[in-house]
Chain A
Amino acid sequence: METLSSLADGFVIALTWQNLLLALLGCFLGTMMGALPGLGPSNGVAILIPLAFTLGLGATPSLILLTSVYYGAMYGGRISSILLNIPGDEPAMMTCLDGYPMAKKGRAGEALSLSGIASFVGAFLATWGLILLAPQLVKIALLFGPAEYFALFTLAFATLGGVASTNQAKTAFAAALGIGLATVGVDTQTGVPRFTFGEVHLYDGIDFLVAIVGLFALSEVFLFLEHRHGNADASGHKVTVGRLMPSWSLLKSCTPTMLRSSFLGFLAGVLPGAGASLGSFIAYTFEKKLVDKEGTFGTGDPRGVAAPEAGNNAAAGGALVPMLALGVPGSGTTAVLLAVLLALNITPGPLLFTQQPDVVWGLIAALFIANVMLLLMNIPMIGLFTRVLLIPPRILMPIVAMVSFVGIYGISGSSFDLLVMVGFGVLGWVLRKLDVPLVPIILGTLLGNAMENNLRRAITIDNGDWFALIDSPLSIGLWTLAVIGFLLPIIFGKVVKARMRHMAKDEEGSTID
């Protein structure tokens, strides 16, 4: 009951004209960015963070804008999967499998609206899951001391590579690099400068926003330059959208699929290191095992469209649970959202729920609003979004680059930051070529300082005894999980990744035939 009244308060906060407009804008921009191949949710949110700042928005409005972009991008990813067989972002990969064959049969419109509805169901249920689960997690988190937090951060880094990670050494490298970057600047506890090489600009450390925009957005531009004649040009594909509304019987036949997939996706989202890609993968494979008796999955079965979309949107909501309740994000995009919170001077974690309930519940209410808006927007306006796909990347990418520059310059007004951003862009490009994940770097720059502070606090409390780190059963449990989470992918990672690739390949083969 208490939850419901808090939620009602949240709606009061979220339902102002300004916030509604921001949510609308966010949903629209997010769907566009999700739809464009190459711009995923992390990129989309990263580019818009500086914008939210320079607009001088308060905490709740900025969050509403950016989470709408987040949800919107998750919806948008499916559009190019279905129409062009190119996933708009990674989680939409599984939607290609049945979405594109459906489009080829002339049922693109149905596939789009069905996947829109599936996205809605997934995201809606996941938001309820967030409401129910997050406060419980907060109760546990309140038992955490500095040592437990240090272990929790380690757990987050250890599992960040995810089950599908192929090279844990590279994940560890990326995390250490990110944390190392965070230590640049004046030490918060003793006031001595570290790793600044006498450069005054480095005294307040490296702004993580500069790092994020450089790593995500600019590296994308470099990748496009490199593959100029790649397959990214969308022109030349023409798909007729066809009838828009799916029939009731079709919806009815997909309902159980959506419900099951939402549940699985949500679980995958909450668990550290799984994220939306895995959510849609699990949902699809599970559904295929369960209901695919005639072998229609992969040839344009509507249930094969509904399952991964419900799964990945539910995972997107689930990933918000650890981010809000513990302050430890479980996926790339939530890491970027964490950057938003930190930049707004909001520290997520258990205290957020008690000290700034308006932010939390306003955000949750905004998620519901964004969800409804997205559903309404995505069915009648689907024609508009499909046209966005026709903007060639050669026009779009320079705009992305310039907007990134404007955003960063707008915050600090310094050329030095722009140069650092270009440096991060180059670094991001090289690391992506080498298959080093970028998310641990971002998370490292974000959490590095908090991690060090907790370590030092834990040990100082125990008078310099390093065994303080493994003093309580809770922290021992977290360390064990971290070790298991880090080692598991080394054993199973190759298998899972190979299966994901294998399935995607099979489908490509069959669509050409």
Chain B
Amino acid sequence: MSDRIFGAVGLILALGYAWAALIIEESFLSDAVGPKAFPLIIAAVLGLSSLVIFFKPDTAPHWPALPRLMEVGAAILVMVLYAILLPELGFVIATALAATYLTWRLGTRPLSSVVSGCLTSLGIYAVFHLVLGLSLARGPLGF
């Protein structure tokens, strides 16, 4: 079943890609092939392989139960938040929060997670910023 859905999504993707290729505005100065041909070939390969996947599916993988899936979803959300908030909060705070969350969710006790998260953040800050001189996001507090 998973592969059927995957094949269908792939096919939609291929069609969308082909459509997006067809509406590329060509400039008046173009080579013999133009900017559309190659993407159309790729769209064909994408579509054909999606069809094969749809009609000859493999055995379905083992999908995690809903709570596990939520777990992964929450981690994705935390990473997205991290990406958005990094410039606002500054590197050290944002990283400590994100690392604490991930460590906790991977099965560490809450208190140890806070310690480990803070150490991870400070460690990376020390190695990458103070030693290697990489410029990391500066928050309102200057770090």
Interface string of B14-52 (1 = CB under 8 A from A): 000100110011110111111100110011011011101
Q: Take A398-B103, A399-B120, A459-B32 as given contacts and tell me if A179 and B134 are in contact as well, using a CB distance cutoff of 8 Å.
A: no
Interface string of B69-91 (1 = CB under 8 A from A): 00110011001101110110001
Query: In the complex the two chains form, is B105's CB within 8 Å of A225's CB?
Result: yes
Nearest residue, chain A, Cβ from B116 = A395
Q: Is the interface of B mostly helix, strand, loop or mixed?
A: helix
In the assembled complex, the Cα of A176 lies from the Cα of B48 at a distance in Å of: 10
By a CB distance below 8 angstroms, the chain B residues around A176 are 42-43, 45-46, 49
Query: In the complex the two chains form, is B102's CB within 8 Å of A434's CB?
Result: no
Query: In the complex the two chains form, is B35's CB within 8 Å of A435's CB?
Result: no
Interface string of A182-208 (1 = CB under 8 A from B): 010001011110110000000000000
- Is A447 in the interface zone, CB < 8 Å from B? no
Interface residue count on the A side (C-beta < 8 Å): 62
By a CB distance below 8 angstroms, the chain A residues around B30 are 189-190
Interface string of A388-422 (1 = CB under 8 A from B): 00000111011101110110011001010011011
Query: In the complex the two chains form, is B135's CB within 8 Å of A413's CB?
Result: yes
In the assembled complex, the Cα of A426 lies from the Cα of B80 at a distance in Å of: 11
In the assembled complex, the Cα of A190 lies from the Cα of B33 at a distance in Å of: 11
By a CB distance below 8 angstroms, the chain B residues around A177 are 46
By a CB distance below 8 angstroms, the chain A residues around B124 are 399, 402-403, 406
By a CB distance below 8 angstroms, the chain A residues around B32 are 456, 459-460, 463-464
By a CB distance below 8 angstroms, the chain A residues around B3 are 434
Query: In the complex the two chains form, is B31's CB within 8 Å of A192's CB?
Result: no
Query: In the complex the two chains form, is B86's CB within 8 Å of A418's CB?
Result: yes
**Least distance between A133 CB and chain B CB atoms (Å):** 32
Nearest residue, chain A, Cβ from B76 = A426
**Least distance between B10 CB and chain A CB atoms (Å):** 6
Q: Which of A55, A166, A395, A463 has the most CB of B within 10 A?
A: A395
- Is A173 in the interface zone, CB < 8 Å from B? yes
Query: In the complex the two chains form, is B38's CB within 8 Å of A225's CB?
Result: no
Interface residue count on the B side (C-beta < 8 Å): 67
By a CB distance below 8 angstroms, the chain B residues around A405 are 82-83, 86, 95
Query: In the complex the two chains form, is A409's CB within 8 Å of B95's CB?
Result: no
Nearest residue, chain B, Cβ from A397 = B106
Q: Take A402-B95, A409-B136, A410-B134 as given contacts and tell me if A459 and B33 are in contact as well, using a CB distance cutoff of 8 Å.
A: yes
Q: What 18 new A-B contacts, CB under 8 Å, besides A170-B49, A401-B79, A452-B38?
A: A55-B134, A169-B56, A170-B53, A179-B42, A180-B17, A180-B39, A183-B38, A195-B20, A225-B68, A401-B98, A403-B124, A405-B82, A415-B87, A418-B82, A433-B61, A434-B3, A456-B38, A459-B33
Could you give 22 example pairs across A and B, Cβ below 8 Å?
A54-B134, A172-B45, A173-B50, A190-B26, A190-B27, A190-B31, A194-B35, A195-B17, A222-B72, A228-B106, A394-B103, A394-B107, A398-B120, A402-B121, A406-B124, A406-B136, A409-B86, A410-B128, A413-B135, A456-B31, A460-B32, A464-B33
Taking Cβ atoms with an 8 Å cutoff, the residues of A that contact B are 54-55, 166-167, 169-170, 172-173, 175-177, 179-180, 183, 187, 189-192, 194-195, 218, 221-222, 224-226, 228-229, 393-395, 397-399, 401-403, 405-406, 409-410, 413, 415, 418-419, 421-422, 425-426, 429, 433-435, 451-452, 455-456, 459-460, 463-464
Taking Cβ atoms with an 8 Å cutoff, the residues of B that contact A are 2-3, 6, 10, 17, 20-21, 24-27, 29-35, 38-39, 42-43, 45-46, 48-50, 52-53, 56, 58, 61, 63-64, 68, 71-72, 75-76, 79-80, 82-84, 86-87, 91, 95, 98-99, 102-103, 105-108, 116-117, 120-121, 124, 128, 132, 134-137
